[in-house]
């Protein structure tokens, strides 16, 4: 009902407002993948910027090099994201968190340089990047911005449903067991490296689909768009929203999109410093994120109810 209400409300706002909320929804899709990877399976990753970029570049190259419909970019992003995420998880998931951080950091740093590699720059556009057109809406009654929001919202709704079913399934329990104690999980017959690699692949699919939607929205992909700072930014959104909750991914997406506007209005030239200070304060005050704080508040109110 909430997703239907959001879709209906989008017709009450001008396109530039809908554009902003579309980006928040795209952030939420990406963070939902990180909830599965970091919160449920207990892994650590800096590779999200590269996986995000793989989805964007997959859609751009398909549009530029083939006569296929731009909508095929979503399917391609889903496939490329899962394969890339599974490969990274298969290597990094066998190690501790520090080694996972180093392996995924190397992947995130190497990806923009790979895009500039001369033998493949005829496909990637090199340092200049690639431009791509937004897919044509199914009806003239929908503007590009409104159609982008409805698509992203539908994908977020489907992704939330799939993630919820995964988390509460036998596979989700296996992922949590691998997170809590990998030796005990292995003793119960869980193939820990394969379970972690699968979680990484699923997260990669979410991130790549979000990257495809973002590339469509901005109409451009370039190496500088997928730098290491993007990975850190997503981690901030994950921690603030709540890494163990699917609702936290949605709250984190809204935070990433709109909180910088608040600090820009208050900072008077010190917006970056103020952003960092408020971010640290929020993490100290809400160690389980906004979603965890709201859950504790709801439990407290329930106890006080006569």
pLDDT digits (tens, 9 = 90+) for 37-62: 999 999 999 999 999 999 999 999 99
- C-alpha distances (whole Å) from 233 to each of 13, 69, 78, 132, 141 are 28, 32, 22, 25, 35
Tell me the three state secondary structure of residue 130.
strand
**Contact by Cβ (8 Å): 241, 248:** yes
Helices (H), the chain: 2-9, 15-34, 48-65, 72-92, 97-115, 121-124, 144-167, 170-180, 182-187, 192-218, 228-241, 246-267, 271-285, 289-304
C-alpha 177/C-alpha 186 separation (Å) is 9
Prediction pTM value: 0.93
**Contact by Cβ (8 Å): 235, 44:** no
What is the model's pLDDT at position 84?
Answer: 96
76: tokens are 């391609």
Other CB atoms within 10 A of residue 278 CB: 16
- Phi, psi values for residue 195, rounded to 5°: -65, -45
Residues contacting residue 159 through CB under 8 Å, at least 6 positions apart: 29, 32, 206, 209
Positions in the chain short of pLDDT 70 = 265-272, 275, 306
Q: Are strands 220-221 and 130-131 parallel, antiparallel or unpaired?
A: antiparallel
C-alpha 167/C-alpha 1 separation (Å) is 21
């Amino acid at each position: 009902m909430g997703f239907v209400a959001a879709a209906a409300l989008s017709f009450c706002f001008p396109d530039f407002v809908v554009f902003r909320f579309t980006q928040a929804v795209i952030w939420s899709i990406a963070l939902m993948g990180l909830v599965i990877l970091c919160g449920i399976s207990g892994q650590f990753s800096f590779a999200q910027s590269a996986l995000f970029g793989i989805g964007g570049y997959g859609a751009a190259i398909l549009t530029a090099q083939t006569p296929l419909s731009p909508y095929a970019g979503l399917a391609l992003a889903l496939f490329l994201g899962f394969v890339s995420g599974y490969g990274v998880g298969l290597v990094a998931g066998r190690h501790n968190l520090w080694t996972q951080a180093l392996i995924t950091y190397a992947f995130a740093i190497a990806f923009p340089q790979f895009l500039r590699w001369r033998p493949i720059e005829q496909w990637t556009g090199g340092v200049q990047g690639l431009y791509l057109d937004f897919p044509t809406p199914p009806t003239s009654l929908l503007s590009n911005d409104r159609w982008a929001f409805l698509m992203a919202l539908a994908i977020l709704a489907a992704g939330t449903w799939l993630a919820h079913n995964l988390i509460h399934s036998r596979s989700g329990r296996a992922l949590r067991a691998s997170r809590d104690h990998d030796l005990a999980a292995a003793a119960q017959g869980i193939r820990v490296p394969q379970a972690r690699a699968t979680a990484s692949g699923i997260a990669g699919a979410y991130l790549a689909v979000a990257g495809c939607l973002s590339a469509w929205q901005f109409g451009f992909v370039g190496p500088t768009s997928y730098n290491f700072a993007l990975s850190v930014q997503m981690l901030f959104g994950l921690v603030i929203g709540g890494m163990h909750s699917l609702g936290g991914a949605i709250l984190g997406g809204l935070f990433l999109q709109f909180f910088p506007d608040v600090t820009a209005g208050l900072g008077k030239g010190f917006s970056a410093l103020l952003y960092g200070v408020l971010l640290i304060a929020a993490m100290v005050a809400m160690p389980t994120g906004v979603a965890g704080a709201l859950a504790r508040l709801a439990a407290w109110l329930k106890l006080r109810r006569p």
